[in-house]
């Protein structure tokens, strides 16, 4: 994995970072918990400010899922601290989660520097499971703010897969075909294919679905 950022299914890289809550070691600081690490291009910028407010507004939703949040940009930690103070004083929003003051090496280790989009970090999202394995990666350009509901939905879907070994359809839990139901993994032999149509609701043996148990 040396020389590139982690891919899906690989361990999140071990990093020692300085944050607004003090020094931390990742992913060790969140061992045994899910966490969402998200980067932003710069402090004191409009889109990033709206994102941090949105993440904080949903902070309890992440906590109820057992998920920790941690932000990141290449700004220095005193800039993060001042920006957090500004949001509380001017917007009435107190940011409860830490923000990493990254250097270029840390940002590079996570694939956050895209030369074609400038020298700041792009808007990256890493969802990491309790074993420290990267389960989802998203990258957004600087001009597009993220949808926090989608990140929450992705965490719920990943946890649902881990707990019940089922897949989730497009726009779950509001899918056009099967609503909030989940997809049963397709069978790999003829006998199981026959049984699937008897055990589940199916469009065909390879596309069966059920309610969450």
Separation CA 107–CA 23 (nearest Å): 16
Separation CA 106–CA 12 (nearest Å): 12
48 as an active site residue: the answer is: yes
Burial of 203 (0-12, 13-18, 19+ CB in 10 A): exposed
Q: What dihedral do alpha carbons 102, 107, 108, 111 form, nearest 10°?
A: 170
Considering 15, 48, 67, 112, which one is annotated as catalytic?
Answer: 48
Is residue 84 within 8 Å of residue 71, measured between CB atoms?
no
What are the residue numbers of the active site?
48
């Amino acid at each position: 994995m040396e020389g590139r950022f982690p891919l899906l299914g690989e361990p999140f890289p071990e990093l020692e970072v300085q944050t607004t809550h003090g020094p931390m070691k990742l992913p060790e600081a969140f061992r045994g918990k899910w966490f969402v690490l998200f980067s932003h291009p710069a402090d004191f910028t409009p889109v990033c400010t709206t994102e941090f407010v949105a993440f904080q507004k949903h902070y309890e939703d992440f906590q109820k899922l057992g998920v920790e949040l941690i932000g990141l940009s290449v700004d220095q930690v005193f800039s993060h601290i001042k920006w957090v103070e500004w949001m509380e004083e001017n917007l009435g929003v107190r940011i409860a989660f830490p923000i990493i003051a990254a250097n270029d090496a840390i940002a590079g280790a996570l694939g956050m520097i895209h030369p074609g989009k400038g020298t700041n970090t792009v808007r990256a999202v890493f969802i990491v499971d309790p074993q420290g394995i990267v389960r989802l990666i998203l990258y957004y350009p600087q001009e597009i703010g993220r949808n926090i509901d989608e990140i929450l939905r992705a965490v719920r879907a990943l946890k649902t897969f881990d707990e019940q070994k089922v897949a989730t359809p497009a726009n779950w839990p509001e899918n056009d075909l099967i609503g909030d139901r989940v997809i049963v993994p397709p069978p790999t032999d003829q006998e199981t294919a026959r049984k699937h149509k008897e055990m589940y609701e199916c469009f065909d043996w390879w596309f069966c679905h059920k309610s969450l148990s």
